[in-house]
């Protein structure tokens, strides 16, 4: 389908302000790299999101769903098709000790909303930069917490364009895994089941964890957080350091000297620089130790 026809198709359910043509993805991802997407759309309600997906599927238009772009690497030539960005689906509602958040809400904003409502349980998430949708899909966690420990249910859009509410017991939550990864589904909303707490104590714990994050992670550079998943029985950063990669540069990409688990955009890196550096690390560790280094970073585009 021609680009102008895709634009006309999307305009039937979205406003002009929700449609971006030839949008540079370096402006939408935490790595700060990536060429233009043919079209980027930002529906602001789950209903519009559902309508967009239905149209794209009906017309067989390639598409990709993204949240805050904090674990996404887009190729230097961009993405041929439509990127659906959920960031404008960001409403957060309270119902007693429950917080219900749309997929595009930032995890740190939901954690802050919990603190402001004297609800504890999400302190671990206060420094996670990604969106709620991505956090649910990946069972995001940090320090002493995981999403599954506070999740009550998630609502997903199924392959039949219907909404399904799954209690946490049916979500198959594990290390960086959920049932959504096993199906062509998309998260619309999640519900967190929290406990009453002291807002000052909650804020103090959030501050402490965020200081630990600043002390240990290279937050001053563009990156996608932890580049690799934790291999069973190992720590990714330790494997990378032991392989001699601390501070290793490839073009503008670099293994962080502060934390070897992070590949950073040190100096105007390209997506190709980052992809090639990741491959160098994977190949050496596979050869030397026999360990497969799977990425947390998702790579799309050309």
Whole-prediction pTM: 0.92
Please indicate whether residue 126 is annotated as part of the active site.
Answer: no
- What distance in Å separates the CA atoms of residue 149 and residue 229, rounded to the nearest whole number? 20
Q: Are residues 43 and 84 in contact, defined by beta-carbon separation less than 8 angstroms?
A: yes
Confidence label for 131 from pLDDT (cuts 50, 70 and 90): very high
Q: Worst-scoring range by mean pLDDT, 5-9, 186-190, 279-283?
A: 5-9
State the catalytic residue, choosing from 80, 94, 176, 249.
Answer: 176
Count of beta carbons in the 10 Å neighbourhood of residue 131: 30
Please indicate whether residue 223 is annotated as part of the active site.
Answer: no
Instruction: Report pLDDT digits (tens) over 146-178.
Output: 999 999 999 999 998 999 999 999 999 998 899
Q: Which domains are seen in the chain, by residue range? A: 3-85 (3.30.43.10), 92-216 (3.30.465.10), 236-300 (3.90.78.10)
State the catalytic residue, choosing from 50, 226, 256, 275.
Answer: 226
Contacts of 107 (CB under 8 A, 6+ apart): 125, 128, 129, 130, 131, 132, 135, 140
User: Once rounded to an integer, what is the mean pLDDT over residues 268-294?
Assistant: 97
């Amino acid at each position: 389908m021609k680009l102008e026809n895709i634009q006309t198709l999307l305009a039937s359910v979205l406003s002009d302000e929700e449609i971006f043509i030839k949008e540079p993805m370096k402006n939408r991802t935490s790595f700060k790299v990536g060429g233009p997407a043919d079209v980027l759309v930002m529906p602001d309600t789950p209903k519009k999101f559902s309508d967009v997906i239905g149209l794209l599927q009906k017309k067989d238009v390639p598409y990709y769903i993204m949240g805050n772009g904090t674990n996404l690497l887009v190729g230097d030539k961009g993405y041929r098709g439509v990127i659906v960005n959920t960031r404008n689906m960001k409403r957060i509602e309270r119902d007693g000790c429950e917080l219900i958040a749309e997929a595009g809400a930032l995890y740190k904003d939901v954690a802050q909303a919990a603190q402001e409502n004297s609800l504890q349980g999400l302190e671990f998430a206060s420094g996670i930069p990604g969106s709620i949708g991505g956090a649910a899909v990946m069972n995001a966690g940090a320090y002493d917490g995981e999403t599954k420990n506070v999740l009550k249910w998630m609502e997903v859009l199924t392959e039949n364009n219907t909404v399904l509410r799954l209690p946490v017991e049916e979500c198959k939550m594990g290390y960086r895994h959920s049932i959504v990864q096993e199906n062509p589904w998309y998260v619309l909303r999640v519900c967190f089941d929290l406990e009453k707490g002291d807002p000052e104590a909650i804020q103090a714990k959030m501050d402490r964890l965020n200081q630990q994050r600043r002390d240990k992670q290279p937050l001053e550079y563009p990156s996608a957080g932890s580049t690799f998943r934790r291999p069973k029985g190992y720590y990714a950063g330790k494997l990378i350091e032991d392989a001699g990669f601390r501070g290793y540069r490839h073009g503008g990409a670099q293994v962080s000297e502060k934390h070897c688990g992070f590949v950073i955009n040190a100096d105007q890196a390209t997506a190709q620089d980052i992809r090639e550096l990741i491959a160098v690390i994977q190949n050496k560790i596979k050869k030397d130790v026999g360990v497969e280094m799977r990425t947390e970073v998702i790579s799309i585009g050309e």
